[in-house]
Structure 1
Amino acid sequence: MKLVDIETVEPGQILGKTIFSSNGTVLLSTGVQLTVYMISTLKRIGVTTIYIDNPMYRDISHDEMLSEDTKRAVIHQMSEMFGSLRSGKSFSSKAIGQTIDDLLDDVLKNQNILIHLSDIRTADNAMFLHAMNVCMISSLLGLNMGLNMIQLKELAIGALLHDIGKLGAPEVQEGRMHHAWRGFDLLKNKREYSLLIAHVAFQHHETINGTGVPRGLAGEDIHIYAKITAVANVYDNMIYNSVDGMPLLPHEACERLNAMSGTLLDHEVLVHFMRIVSIYPNGISVKLTNRQTGVVVGQHRGLPGRPIIRVIDKEDDEAVSYREIDLAQHPTIFIESVLS
């Protein structure tokens, strides 16, 4: 499959990746033939890019960190939790815990897969997918940084619930009205949870140099769980909703993260993050410095900036010929720009 702009999608093309609704059910399944109405609806609900099944790239590996069952469960559980809180009820810590167990099982099983955030967001599912991605990235970071299973579960729950204070929060958030305070106040009263889980919500907007909110903590005063969650949170926000109002591509987001190292974000956490992220994910189109264009079809763990590119040499009604350029084996060829 190949990632394309929604504006270029035509009726009759085949959807390459499932799109979830806000309650975890499937909105559109992989393999469905897109119609004019479907494309129009996707645009209306805020979808900007989708994966299209393309025979030329059908063999490209798109290994996912989380299974579709786990994704559905996480989104559904978040929807249930927010529904309970909106109605003034408590939420089930046991249900959240079981969902986290399933997510951690997937992360442990697939820990060698590079992170690429490819789930399609809509206006309705965006908050839940953000929470899921921050939880997944934080869990993999914690695993790579040597946290034990008890610590990983605390981190994962805190990361999943880091924005819980946003529910019902005013647009202007100051002092104890800031969603970090609200999240802390809500989670600290959950007896089933360690106080460290509440501190993830409390501290994930603090910065290493002390310019963060809500308390202006700095350096070692910020718990490692919050430092990890902060990196995951900033990255996911950049990919889907940059502070400039335009989403960034993975390599652009990584450049910005590196610029924040040691000032806004923790340097050690960022070092580990750069080892586990896919800077040029499979399926995106790129232009090389040798003036050829192609699609990323493979990765090298430890060399995220040197993927394998499939270049089409000839494409007509009779035949298609292509070759693959492994940038790890061609040190003089670089990716000049990303086309989609």
Structure 2
Amino acid sequence: MRYISIDNVEPGQFLGKTIYSGNGTVLLSAGVQLTVYMISTLNRIGVTMLYIQDPLFEDVDTDDMLSEATKQSIIQEMSNAFEAMRSGKDWNTHLIGSSVESLLEDVMSNKEMLVQLTDIRTNDNNQYIHAMNVCLLSSVMGINMGLNYQQLKELATGALMHDIGKSGMSEEDDIVPGLKSHHTWRGFEKLKNKRDFSLLIAHVALQHHERVDGFGLPRGLTGDEIHLYAKIVSAADTYDRLIHPLLPAAKRLLPHEACEEMMAMSEKQLDYEVLIQFNRMVSIYPNGAAVRLSTKETGVVVRQHRGLPGRPVVRIVRGESSHFDVKELDLAQETTVFIEAVLS
């Protein structure tokens, strides 16, 4: 598979990854042949990048930590929870708990992988995929930091529900000065009364926009006043929002750019120790991404090295359809070659 801009997708190409609707149902299945109408519709509903099947890279997998069943369950349950809150109804905490357990089972089975956030976003599913990604990133960091299973479940649940207070709000509403109207307070108030959830889960929603330098919201907490769970979720939330901004006008960073931006936030917005763990487990050049090397050759990232996220294996293809010359450069071995740019 290759990861390309929707502007470069051509009719007749085959979709590489399933796209989900906002309620967790399948919008388009992997393997479907794309038409002009499909591409136009995907563009209209907010899709900017797609995975496309390519015979030269058919062995390239996105190495997803989560199964398709787990993803679909999480998106569906988050959609149900947000819709229930919008309509003033109760929502099923047991189903949320089951989704979290499925996610943790997948993560612990694949914990040697680097995390690659590869699911296709639309305007409808963006909020729920964001929650899932924050949960995934937070869970992997929690495992690497030695949390036990009960702690991991609290962390993962808090991460999945961290933005539940946004239900029924616009982004503009959330900027209103009254702190009690901020989505962190609203989320805390909704979660603290759920008997199946510990109070720490509610505090993740309350504290995930606090900053270690004391300039965060809603209470201006500093350093150790912020719970470790909230520090972890803050890093995960920041990363996912840098690579997939909420506001269309905001600049979308590539994964390696987002990691650099986050390191500049160390001990200001984000906790240094959490950032160290984060940078060890996230893939900054995801499989399928086209890159230009310092040798001026262009290729596609095909494999990752655990512990060396900036040194993947890159496949370079030269020639024409009658005869291709294919070689792979392992940047963990070719120490003088670097990735200069990510191409769309």
Question: Under a length normalisation based on structure 2, what TM-score does the superposition of the two structures give?
Answer: 0.97
Paired residue for 2:251?
Answer: 246
Question: CA separation in 2, counterparts of 1:96 and 1:330?
Answer: 45
Question: CA separation in 1, counterparts of 2:59 and 2:343?
Answer: 21
Question: CA separation in 2, counterparts of 1:318 and 1:303?
Answer: 36
Structure 1 runs (4+) deviating above 6 angstroms are none
Paired residue for 1:322?
Answer: 326
Q: CA deviation at 1:62?
A: 2.0
Q: Tell me if the contact between 1:184 and 1:202 (Cα under 8 Å) persists in the aligned partners.
A: yes
Question: CA separation in 1, counterparts of 2:217 and 2:288?
Answer: 37
Paired residue for 1:172?
Answer: 175
Change (3 A) 1:304 1:242: farther
Q: CA deviation at 1:41?
A: 0.4
Paired residue for 2:217?
Answer: 213
Paired residue for 1:57?
Answer: 57
Question: CA separation in 2, counterparts of 1:54 and 1:276?
Answer: 27
Secondary structure of 2:175's match?
A: coil
Paired residue for 1:154?
Answer: 154
Question: CA separation in 2, counterparts of 1:83 and 1:334?
Answer: 46
1:279 aligns with 2:320: no
Question: CA separation in 2, counterparts of 1:140 and 1:329?
Answer: 27
Q: CA deviation at 1:82?
A: 1.4
Q: CA deviation at 1:245?
A: 0.6
Paired residue for 2:264?
Answer: 259
Question: Under a length normalisation based on structure 1, what TM-score does the superposition of the two structures give?
Answer: 0.98
Amino acid at match of 1:234: T
Q: CA deviation at 1:261?
A: 1.0
Q: Tell me if the contact between 2:24 and 2:72 (Cα under 8 Å) persists in the aligned partners.
A: yes
> Bigger CA drift: 57-66 or 243-252?
243-252
Secondary structure of 1:15's match?
A: coil
Paired residue for 1:96?
Answer: 96
Paired residue for 2:70?
Answer: 70
Q: Tell me if the contact between 2:174 and 2:181 (Cα under 8 Å) persists in the aligned partners.
A: no
Q: Tell me if the contact between 1:242 and 1:248 (Cα under 8 Å) persists in the aligned partners.
A: no
Amino acid at match of 1:94: H
Q: Tell me if the contact between 1:144 and 1:272 (Cα under 8 Å) persists in the aligned partners.
A: yes
Q: Tell me if the contact between 2:63 and 2:116 (Cα under 8 Å) persists in the aligned partners.
A: no
Secondary structure of 2:184's match?
A: helix
Aligned pair count reads: 339
Instruction: Give the aligned CA root-mean-square deviation in angstroms.
Output: 1.1
Q: CA deviation at 1:187?
A: 0.7
Q: How does 1:287-298 map to 2 (within 5 A)?
A: 287-298=292-303
Question: CA separation in 2, counterparts of 1:20 and 1:312?
Answer: 32
Paired residue for 1:270?
Answer: 275
Paired residue for 2:202?
Answer: 198
Question: CA separation in 1, counterparts of 2:214 and 2:69?
Answer: 40
Secondary structure of 2:56's match?
A: helix
Secondary structure of 1:64's match?
A: coil
Paired residue for 1:82?
Answer: 82
Secondary structure of 2:89's match?
A: coil
Amino acid at match of 1:211: F
1:181 aligns with 2:185: yes
Secondary structure of 2:275's match?
A: helix
1:61-86 deviations in Å (ceiling 9; x for gaps): 32111000000000000111112112
Question: CA separation in 1, counterparts of 2:187 and 2:174?
Answer: 15
Q: CA deviation at 1:93?
A: 1.1
Q: CA deviation at 1:242?
A: 7.3
Q: CA deviation at 1:319?
A: 1.8
Paired residue for 1:228?
Answer: 232
1:125 aligns with 2:125: yes
Amino acid at match of 2:302: V
Amino acid at match of 1:309: V
Secondary structure of 1:108's match?
A: helix
Unaligned runs of 5+ in 1: none
Q: Tell me if the contact between 1:306 and 1:327 (Cα under 8 Å) persists in the aligned partners.
A: yes
Identity of aligned residues (%): 57
Q: Tell me if the contact between 1:139 and 1:155 (Cα under 8 Å) persists in the aligned partners.
A: yes
